Amino acid sequence: TAKGPNCDASTNMRLKLPITCFILEIIIIILFGVLVQYDEGTDAKLWHDRNHSSHSDYDNDFYYRYPSFQDVHVMIFIGFGFLMTFLQRYGFSSVGFNFLIAAFALQWATLMQGFFHGMHGGKIHIGVESMINADFCTGSVLISFGAVLGKTSPVQLLLMAIFEVTLFAVNEFIVLSVLGAKDAGGSMTIHTFGAYFGLIVARVLYRPNLDKSKHRNSSVYHSDLFAMIGTLYLWMFWPSFNSAITAHGDDQHRTAMNTYYSLAACTLSSYAMSALTAHDGKLDMVHIQNAALAGGVAAGTAGEMMLTPFGSMIVGFVAGIISVLGFKYLSPVLESKLKIQDTCGVHNLHGMPGILGAIVGAIVAALATADVYGEGLTDVFPDVASGEISASDQGVRQIISLAVTLGIALLGGLIVGFILKLPIFGAPPDTICFEDSIYWEVRRSGSFILKAVISESFPANCP
C-alpha cells in the first residue's frame, strides 16, 4: 500500500501531544492548589456567614448568571466547534481540537485573569462570573483558531492558547481596569483581539503552496449542515453572551434585547447581500454561516448601553453588509496581496464587526446623559455618574482601548506566530492540510466503491 499522510514522522503526535497536555495540566493543577480559592458565593463557610446576616439564597450570583453561563458554554463548545466543521474532511479536528484547546484555555484563563484582576489577599477567588470570563477568553482563542484552521497541529494550538490567553488577560486588564473602558460583550477584548491576533499568526505561518490542499479546503453538503448547527447556536445565544457579565437587573435585560434585534436585522442584510453578490443570485452558505452573526459581534460593546432596539438594528444591519462584502471582495485580496490565509474568514465575522462594535460603543458612550440613564448611569458608566469624567471622555477611553487592543493583538500575534513556526510542533505539510486523517484515526465507510473512491485521494495508513 502507498505511503499515506500519516507516514510523515514529524506530524506524529504520540509523544508530542501527551507530553504537552500532561505538563500543562500538571502545572495548572499545582497553580490551582497554591493560588485558587472559592469565592463568597461558592464557599460553604463564607456564604453561610454572609447569609446569616440578611441575605437569602437567591442573592447568590449563581441564579443571576448560571443560565447565561451555560448559553455561553454552548457557544464555545458547540457553536465554535461546529461552525468550523464546514470543511469536508476536517470535522473531527474542528470539533475535537476546539474541544481540547477550549478545555485547556478555560483553566489557564482562570489563572491569568485571576492574576491580573481577581487577586484578594494573594488568592484568586472564583465563582460563576470567573467561569464566564474564562469562557470569554477561550472564545478569543477559538476565533484565532478559525484563522489557522486546517494548517496547524494540536500542539501548535495549545501553544498558541498559552500565549494568547496570557496576552488577552493583559489587554483586558489594561482596557477595563487601567483605561476604564466598557466592553461587556467583548467587541474589542474578545472579537477584535482574537481576530487580529489570529490573522497575524496566519500571516507568519503563510503557506505559499497551500493550493496543493485546495480540493479539501471547501465544504460538502452534509458538512455545511453540521456547520449550521454551530451558526445557529452562536446566533441564538449571543444575547446571553453579551449580557452574561453586565450588571444585574435592567442591564442584563437590555443587553440581551439589544443583541437580539441586532442579530435579527443582521440576518436580513446578510441574506440580501449574499444573493446580491454571489453566483447566479444564489445564496452562499459561507455568508449565511458567518455574516449573519456579525450583528452579535458589533453589539458587543454598546449592547449594555441605551443603544435602543432601533440603534441595535442599524448596527446589525450594517455589520451584515460589511461582513458579506468582506467575504466576497476583501478576503481574496488579503490572501493574494497580504498573504493572510484566513480559513474561516474571521476577519469578516470578528475583525471588522469587532472594530465597528468598538466605534459604535465609543459613540454611544460619548452621547450618554443622566437624563437618559437616570440612576442607571452608575451601572453602565460609573466614572461618568460619579462626575469624575465626562461622557465624551468615556468615548475617548473607548477609542484608546480599541487602539491598545489592536496593538497588543498585532504585536502578540507576530511574536507567537514566529514561535509556532519552529519546525518541531508537528504542523502538517502543505499537501495535506485540511485533513483529519493526519491526527485522527479515521474509519472508512463500509461500501467498497466509496472506499475505492476515497482511497484514491487519501492513501491508506502506513504498514
Residues 306-345 that bind a second copy (CB under 8 A): 306, 308-310, 313-314, 317
Q: How far is the CB of 339 from a second copy (least distance, A)?
A: 25
- The answer for residues whose C-beta is within 8 angstroms of residue 163's C-beta and 6 or more apart is 412, 415, 416, 419
Whole-number Cα distances in Å, 83 to 27, 145, 460: 31, 12, 29
Closer residue to a second copy (CB): 10 or 390: 10
The nearest distance, CB 207 to a second copy, in angstroms, is 20
Tell me if 278 sits within 8 A of 227, measured CB to CB. no
Q: Which of 57, 336, 337, 387 binds a second copy (CB under 8 A)?
A: 57
- For position 399 contacting a second copy by CB under 8 A, the verdict is no
AA letter at 141: V
**DSSP-derived secondary structure for 303-370:** GGSS-HHHHHHHHHHHHHHHHHHIIIIIHHHHHHTS----TT-HIIIIIHHHHHHHHHHHHHHHT--H
Query: Which residues within the stretch 85-104 sit at the binding site for a second copy (CB under 8 A)?
Result: 85, 88-89, 91-92, 95-96, 99-100, 103-104
Nearer to a second copy, 104 or 136 (CB): 104
Of 155 and 204, which has the nearer Cβ to a second copy? Answer: 155
Query: d(Cα 108, Cα 76) in Å, to the nearest integer?
Result: 15
- Site residue total, a second copy (CB under 8 A): 154
* Residue of 435, 444, 443, 462 whose CA lies nearest to 1: 462
Q: Which of 1, 2, 15, 53 is close enough to bind a second copy by CB under 8 A?
A: 15
Give CA torsion, residues 229, 158, 415, 36, to 10 deg.
100
Least distance in Å: CB of 352 to a second copy?
20
Residues 184-243 that bind a second copy (CB under 8 A): 215-216, 218-222, 224-226, 228-229, 232-233, 235-237, 239-240
Under the binding rule (CB under 8 A), the answer on residue 449 touching a second copy is: yes
Closest distance to a second copy from the beta carbon of 409 (Å):
25
Q: What is the Cα 197 distance to its own chain's centre?
A: 11
Residue 445 contacts a second copy per CB under 8 A: yes
Which residues ranging from 280 to 309 are in contact with a second copy (CB under 8 A)? 280-285, 288, 292, 306, 308-309
**DSSP string of 186-227, one letter each residue:** -IIIIIIHHHHHHHHHHHHT--TTGGGGGGGSSB-HHHHHHH
- CB atoms under 10 Å from CB of 386, counted, come to 10
User: Where does this chain touch a second copy (CB under 8 A) — which range of 47-55, 143-151, 199-207, 343-351?
Assistant: 47-55
- Rounded least distance, CB 149 to a second copy, Å: 16
CB of 308 to a second copy, least distance (A): 7
